A and B are shown apart, each in its own frame.
Chain A
Amino acid sequence: MTSNFLAGFTAVVTFVFVFYLLRRGILREKYAVLWLFFSGAALFFAIFPSVLDRISFAIGIATPVNLLFFVTVVLLILVSVQLSYELSRHEGRIRRLAEEVALLQQQINSLGEKDENGSNDSH
Chain B
Amino acid sequence: MPHKRSLIAIPAWNEQDSIAEVIAKVQEHRPDTDILVVNDGSTDRTAEVSLAAGATVISLPFNVGVGGAMRTAFLYAKRENYTALVQVDADGQHDPADLDRLLAGLGTADIVVGTRFHPDSTYHVGGPRRWAMVLLSKTLSTMNREVISDPTSGFRSAGPRAIDLFAVEYPADYLGDTVGSLAIAIRAGLTVSETPVTMYFRQHGRPSKNAVWSALYLGRASLAIIATGLKSGRTPRGDDS
Binding site for B on A (CB under 8 A): 92, 95, 98-99, 101-103, 105-106, 110
Contacts and interface: CB of A to CB of B under 8 A. Distances in A.
A107 to B, nearest CB: 9
Interface string B42-68: 000000000000001111111010001
B172 A102 contact: no
A105 B59 contact: yes
21 contacts: A92-B172, A95-B64, A95-B172, A98-B60, A98-B61, A98-B68, A99-B60, A99-B64, A101-B61, A102-B38, A102-B58, A102-B59, A102-B60, A102-B61, A103-B58, A103-B75, A105-B59, A106-B56, A106-B58, A106-B59, A106-B76
A95 B56 contact: no
Nearest to A104: B58
Contacts of A103: 58, 72, 75-76, 79
Interface residues of B, number: 16
Interface of B: 38, 56-62, 64, 68, 71-72, 75-76, 79, 172
Given A92-B172, A106-B59, 15 more contacts: A95-B64, A95-B68, A98-B61, A99-B60, A99-B64, A99-B71, A101-B61, A103-B58, A103-B72, A103-B76, A103-B79, A105-B59, A106-B57, A106-B58, A106-B76
Specify which of A92, A102, A103, A105 lies most central, judged by the most chain B CB atoms within 10 Å of its CB: A102
Given A106-B56, A106-B57, A98 B62 contact: yes
Contacts of A99: 60, 64, 68, 71-72, 75
Contacts of B59: 102, 105-106
Contacts of A105: 58-59
B156 to A, nearest CB: 20
Contacts of A110: 56
B219 to A, nearest CB: 19
B171 to A, nearest CB: 10
B60 to A, nearest CB: 5
A103 B64 CA distance: 14
